[in-house]
Structure 1
Amino acid sequence: MPEALSAVGATPGLIWLLLAIGLAGIVRGFTGFGTALIFVPVAGIFLPPQIIVGVITLTGIASTSALLPRAWKHADRREVAVLACAALVTVPVGLWLMAQLDPVSIRWVVAGVGSVTLGALITGWRFSGHVSRPVLVAIGGVAGVIGGLTGLTGPVVILFYLAGQSVAQSVRANTILFLAALDVVIVVNLLLRGAVNGQIFLLALVLAVPYFITSLIGQSLFDPRHERLYRWVAYAVIGLAVLSGLPIWNKGV
């Protein structure tokens, strides 16, 4: 155990990772998402994609207990189940792509996903009416691929819910529930592939402590009456992810 803790303490950029996950917890508790959008770009500066995906999903699972009980009451569980089942099928595709692409290319994918999401939201893209089951399946499937490839489990579903007409409380609950399910699916796939070792588990546990605490703080700040503020916080989080995730900020890239 002392050796394992020493190895975690020697993780490149550990202080920055702790700061990023702490901030991500506040945003996740307040908005229902934002963890990967904040953490993945920062972690990409220091860690390879395989470790990032393992750590962010394990940390997400560890923090679920802080947010899931309230979300379970307000979520449309049938709709979330359709999204999660579709992601179950496509996560292995994303993990396979992760193994084929180099880390810089994956960081550009992260930036691209964030840019598309932010652009669609700021320009006011909206849809109304009934969303069919095939559309839900497609949304869940794309979220699974991107989640497995980059660790960004949220943007596709965030775009789906925030661009719609649902109230803030429903959006937040559905997003939390789906991201929790997708984290489990990704971790199970990683375990089956032998891509998660003891050091990754321990690093995730270390990061989960500040994340759990700040998630509770963020949850206490959430007020469903402030839907407009909620949307703009979401835009700011996505914008931060796009800017900080650009590989051009790294020397030699």
Structure 2
Amino acid sequence: MPDGLALALSVPGLPILILAYLIAGLVRGFTGFGTALIVMPVAAALLPLPVAIVLLSVTGVFSWPAMLPRAWAAADKRQVGVLALAAVLTAPVGVWLLTVLERDLLRWLVALAAAVTLAALVSGWRYRGRVGWPGLGAIGGAAGVLGGATGLTGPPVILFYLAGPSGAEAVRANTILFLAALEVGIIVNLFLRDLVTVDAIWLGLLLAMPYLMGVLAGQALFDPARERLFRGLAYAVIGLAILAGLPLFD
């Protein structure tokens, strides 16, 4: 057995991580988002935050073959391109914050970002009107900074799409495409700052298996007619993950 795999199997809290990734994959496969919101509060409580972010990026790559073809066909690629470009350009700022801020402070930021997003989604808040290029750039830029610092790449963009007039299929497709593009940018920045280790990659490969199983199951279940019930369950899981990741419960 490779040393990296043996070390991955000995990580404290591995069963909890596997369960979190399985649930996150199920939610991601159905809604197009939710992985970071579910995984990061839990992973940040068990692992150094840079490792948790590497895991999120590695496992995300393994979901691409299952999710991107359908998303590519339904997404607004020009709009997603603007959001993703702005996010990739600002991700280095977030990665820099990751290297200078204290771990507990970052964990509080993870929990706060997830809680604010969850509260907005549950409230049913909606906006009217069209967002122009400057607005899209600001939303994407905020996602890049937040993603680089905490691993929560999606909240600003998820809120933007869920609060808008787009239907479930378009929201799901746009979010999947955006998150895939930003994952590339964050991985590159993590490599440039020497924050990616072989051990983290091995653990990511291990967790990619339950994650991909969840993604495939969630994608098979996707049906706009049942979206309200499933999202209600997703919100409950996200809320529990936020509570589990608070430094108060160490």
Task: Tell me which interval the TM-score lies in, with the shorter structure as reference length.
Answer: over 0.9
SS in 1 for 2:224: coil
SS in 2 for 1:180: helix
* Aligned counterpart, 1:29: 29
SS in 1 for 2:225: coil
Contact in 2 for aligned 1:157/1:175 (Cα 8 Å): yes
AA aligned to 2:224 is: P
* Aligned counterpart, 2:139: 139
1:90-105 aligned within 5 A: 90-105=90-105
Runs of 4+ in 1 over 6 A off after TM superposition: none
User: How far off its partner does 1:227 sit?
Assistant: 4.0
The whole-number CA distance in structure 2 between the counterparts of 1:177 and 1:107 is 26
AA aligned to 1:167 is: G
Contact in 2 for aligned 1:41/1:245 (Cα 8 Å): yes
**For the structure 1 residues 120 and 214, does the alpha-carbon distance in structure 2 shift closer, same or farther, using more than 3 Å as the test?**
closer
SS in 2 for 1:187: helix
Cα deviation, 1:25-75, whole Å, max 9, x if unaligned, reads 111101111111111111112100110111111111121111111111111
User: How far off its partner does 1:228 sit?
Assistant: 3.1
* Aligned counterpart, 1:77: 77
Contact in 1 for aligned 2:126/2:164 (Cα 8 Å): yes
User: How far off its partner does 1:103 sit?
Assistant: 1.3
**For the structure 1 residues 38 and 231, does the alpha-carbon distance in structure 2 shift closer, same or farther, using more than 3 Å as the test?**
closer
The Cα RMSD (Å) is 1.5
The whole-number CA distance in structure 1 between the counterparts of 2:128 and 2:238 is 23
1:92-131 aligned within 5 A: 92-131=92-131
Cα deviation, 1:99-154, whole Å, max 9, x if unaligned, reads 11111111110111122212223333211111111110000000000100111111
The whole-number CA distance in structure 1 between the counterparts of 2:2 and 2:231 is 44
The whole-number CA distance in structure 1 between the counterparts of 2:152 and 2:193 is 19
Contact in 2 for aligned 1:146/1:153 (Cα 8 Å): yes
SS in 2 for 1:12: coil
SS in 2 for 1:108: helix
* Aligned counterpart, 2:152: 152
- TM-score, structure 2 as length reference: 0.95
Contact in 1 for aligned 2:8/2:203 (Cα 8 Å): yes
The whole-number CA distance in structure 2 between the counterparts of 1:7 and 1:211 is 19
The whole-number CA distance in structure 2 between the counterparts of 1:229 and 1:37 is 18
